[in-house]
Amino acid sequence: MACPVICCSLLQIHKVITVRERSQIANAIVDACRQVGFVYIIGHGIDAATLEAAFAIAKRLFDLPIEDKMKAPHPSGGAVHRGYSYPGLEKVSQETNASVDVISSLRQVKDIKESYEIGSDNDDEQPNIWLPEEVLPCFRSLTTDLYWKCFEIAKDILRLLARGLGLEDEDYFVKLHSGNYNQLRLLHYPPVPAGDIESHKSSRMPAHTDWCTMTMLFQDDCGGLEVEVPNNPGVFVPAPPIKDALIMNVGDLLMRWSNDYLKSIHHRVGLPPTDFGDRFTGPDRMTRARYSIPYFVAPDPRTLVECLSCGASQTTPAKYPPITWQDYRLMRAATQY
């Protein structure tokens, strides 16, 4: 089983196309989101040069000395998710309202990754934490530009999701997402001995779902992303890189809005696949470094997320109580930092 590839280009929706053609694109995306929860999208509108520059500056960022990266440190706790996180600071899990003992147990296995979180400068609740310009020139301008380019693509996808779900207002989700509360994340997985991952001495990114409405992911050519097979818990399949494609996946909020019609699926980052000779080196089978750039699309903080009329019926009542995005985010973040 593999993640589906939507071969129709999202660029089509900016051209004069028929209602039927638009509906076909929308239905294809929603069908993939329903069956798998993950879908590759090509022709999304972010050009190869922009992506190349983004990955290049991410590598320059993570190649900096730790003392320079720590000039923009992630704040303590999970309420504000911005700035630089060193390897082992963040512990990804599905736990909510976990006890101190549970959290301590989870942290016995460190996540070997580092990240830098970027939001909108219009977000007063989670203000950005920027490196000084002289430490990494053009970092702020380049990542801010990418942030807003990603939001333009996100609005296209949100409209198609609304249409594919049968909502009367194609802008239903767009109206709830100003773009000011999304998150752009630069991720680096340093080389690690394969045995450490296989023996669970350490991890890269444990299995989890994304908290937000949806995620748009760009990844390098290393591989390692795995997606759980729906209705077969614990069985994961690779989601290998496709050059210049983005992977869109359903987040928890979209699953709650659709009453589980669309699936927020567990996914993780493990070892790179073994069918390429450059994935491991030396007697310790050191992995290659991996870089990825996810963009988390989220509504405005006080948006009430509750089951849409298209998702509930007398035979299928609402499965989740209403909750604001702000409350849901803080609940999920509580055990992570």
pLDDT digits (tens, 9 = 90+) for 228-257: 998 888 999 889 898 888 999 999 999 999
Place of tokens 């989220």: 298
Question: Residue 97: its pLDDT value, please?
Answer: 67
- Confidence band of 90 (pLDDT split at 50, 70, 90): confident
The three-point CA angle 13-18-19 to 5° equals: 85
Question: Residue 274: its pLDDT value, please?
Answer: 78
Q: What's the mean pLDDT in 297-321?
A: 86
SS3 label, residue 228: strand
Q: Count other C-beta atoms under 10 Å from residue 24's C-beta.
A: 15
On whether the CB atoms of residues 220 and 287 are closer than 8 A, the answer is no
Question: Residue 146: its pLDDT value, please?
Answer: 98
Question: Residue 336: its pLDDT value, please?
Answer: 72
Question: Residue 18: its pLDDT value, please?
Answer: 79
Q: What's the mean pLDDT in 28-48?
A: 89
Q: Total structural domains in the chain?
A: 1
Sign, Cα dihedral of 197, 107, 301, 75 = negative
Residues 215, 240, 6, 41, Cα dihedral to 10°: 40
Question: Residue 7: its pLDDT value, please?
Answer: 47
Domain of residue 290: give its range. 5-333
Q: What's the mean pLDDT in 201-213?
A: 94
Sign, Cα dihedral of 136, 140, 146, 150 = positive
SS3 label, residue 310: coil
SS3 label, residue 238: strand
Q: For position 159, which CATH number holds?
A: 2.60.120.330
Question: Residue 287: its pLDDT value, please?
Answer: 93
Which segment of 28-42, 114-128, 202-216 scores lowest on mean pLDDT? 28-42
Question: Residue 273: its pLDDT value, please?
Answer: 84
Does residue 151 carry a pLDDT above 50?
A: yes
Does residue 96 carry a pLDDT above 80?
A: no
Question: Residue 98: its pLDDT value, please?
Answer: 60
Which segment of 135-144, 185-194, 301-310 scores lowest on mean pLDDT? 301-310
Question: Residue 288: its pLDDT value, please?
Answer: 93
